Amino acid sequence: MIKEVYNVIGVMSGTSLDGIDLALISFKKETNWSFKIITAQTVSYPEHWFKKLKSLTSLERSELANIDEEYTSYLATVINQFIKQNSITDIDAVCSHGHTALHQPGFGFTLQIGNLPKLSSLIDQLVVCDFRVQDVDLGGQGAPLVPIGDRLLFKDYDWCLNLGGFANISSEIKNESVAFDICPVNIVLNKYVESLGFQYDDAGELARNGKLNNTLFDDLNALSFYKETPPKSLGLEWVEQQIIPLINSFELHTKDILHTYVKHAAFQIAKVVNQTNEASILVTGGGAFNTFLMEEITKLTSNKIVIPSSEIIEFKEALIFGFLGVLKLREEINCLKSVTGASQNHSSGKVYPVNYLDTV
């Protein structure tokens, strides 16, 4: 499907569980790619789905298969509502990341639920999805996948930093894309904020009012992941095995945990971006709204921090997964071996036409 203009819906559910991001985007290919977000929305998870998705790593594969069926149907309902509410009639594809249930690239396995073939029939649209599996099959980390979008859509910035469930970053170094996960962010902060009756720490004010525990700060920074070289990626399993038990062993007040963890995340992020001088850093993801976190990062770097429009902050990942789908439809490279460690660059993702189930 090679043409100059594509209208797609990008769909993303992140590990921070703040909801399903949907964005209707128009992409145009001239000399370079350009885009316009026409409309976008985040649909919060109902309580029962929030609880289910939080517990995915503890489930057996058979239980995950059942949830995959349920979640695909639920995702179809959300997408159909978005299409109906916005009177969307002419789109080339729905490009969906799904929701990561397990991510164990070291064992050759990654699973994003919500990517079953029936999705195309349930929404009556061509679907491009399941972008990570092929990369893992080729020996890669299956993450991060955003860097091809950073290279082609946000090339005016030296670093593109996303502060979501995890902090991840991408850059062009010596004409090659480099990208990796830095550290967990909201996936940890939100967990502890819940104990205070909140879904997230508004502007980081709870963390700001806590105190630094130097020993926990040092122990977090000593974790072996931070000594590894890219390509490298993180998953919820690592957080539950390494971060949470370490934090809980200190028996601190929640505000002190939040304060110390924000300082830790800022330290790890600054350590990466300070590899270059006089660089511009585009910051997106929910963490960009955490004023305390942004202040702590700014204190530790002399580089220029750029906060874009709230639309880009909130929907950049949905935007880029829409773009990955467009590249897949064109059979163009959307996954970079320099980033994931795969054996080759490739065009990743599965394409399900509307009548797919009738043809298999």
List pLDDT tens digits, range 268-313: 999 999 998 899 999 999 999 999 999 999 999 999 999 999 999 9
Asked whether the predicted pLDDT for residue 357 surpasses 80, the reply is no
Asked whether the predicted pLDDT for residue 360 surpasses 70, the reply is no
Amino acid 212 reads L
At a CB cut-off of 8 Å and minimum separation 6, what does 174 contact?
Answer: none
Asked whether the predicted pLDDT for residue 177 surpasses 70, the reply is yes
pLDDT at 343: 97
pLDDT at 1: 64
List pLDDT tens digits, range 225-272: 999 999 898 988 899 999 999 999 999 999 999 999 999 999 999 999
Query: What distance in Å separates the CA atoms of residue 242 and residue 248, rounded to the nearest whole number?
Result: 11
Kind plus residue range of the DSSP H or E element containing 36: strand 33-43
Q: At 57, is the pLDDT very low, low, confident or very high (cuts 50, 70, 90)?
A: confident
List pLDDT tens digits, range 119-141: 999 999 999 999 999 999 999 99
Q: At 176, is the pLDDT very low, low, confident or very high (cuts 50, 70, 90)?
A: confident
Q: What are phi and psi of 123, to 5 degrees?
A: -110, -5
Structure tokens at 213: 């525990």
Question: What three-state secondary structure class fits 176?
Answer: strand
At a CB cut-off of 8 Å and minimum separation 6, what does 125 contact?
Answer: 9, 79, 83, 91, 93, 94, 354
Question: What three-state secondary structure class fits 318?
Answer: helix
Domains of the chain, CATH where assigned:
5-145+316-359 (3.30.420.40), 147-312 (3.30.420.40)
Confirm if 188 and 261 have CB atoms less than 8 A apart.
Answer: yes
Buried b (16+ CB within 10 A) or exposed e, 64-95: beebbeebbebbbebbeebbeeeebeebbbbb
pLDDT at 305: 97
Q: What are phi and psi of 34, to 5 degrees?
A: -135, 165
pLDDT at 62: 86
Mean pLDDT within 20-36 = 97
Give CA 267 to chain center in angstroms: 21
Which is more confidently placed, 151 or 174?
A: 151
Mean pLDDT, all residues of the chain = 95
Confirm if 324 and 317 have CB atoms less than 8 A apart.
Answer: no
Query: What distance in Å separates the CA atoms of residue 17 and residue 67, rounded to the nearest whole number?
Result: 16
Query: What distance in Å separates the CA atoms of residue 187 and residue 165, rounded to the nearest whole number?
Result: 4
Number of helices (H), then strands (E), belonging to the chain: the values are: 15, 13
Structure tokens at 16: 């921070």
Torsion of CA 286, 16, 102, 350, to 10 degrees: -50
pTM (whole model) above 0.85: yes
Residues in the chain: 360
At a CB cut-off of 8 Å and minimum separation 6, what does 227 contact?
Answer: none
pLDDT at 174: 79
Asked whether the predicted pLDDT for residue 338 surpasses 70, the reply is yes
Question: What three-state secondary structure class fits 47?
Answer: helix
Mean pLDDT within 337-356 = 93
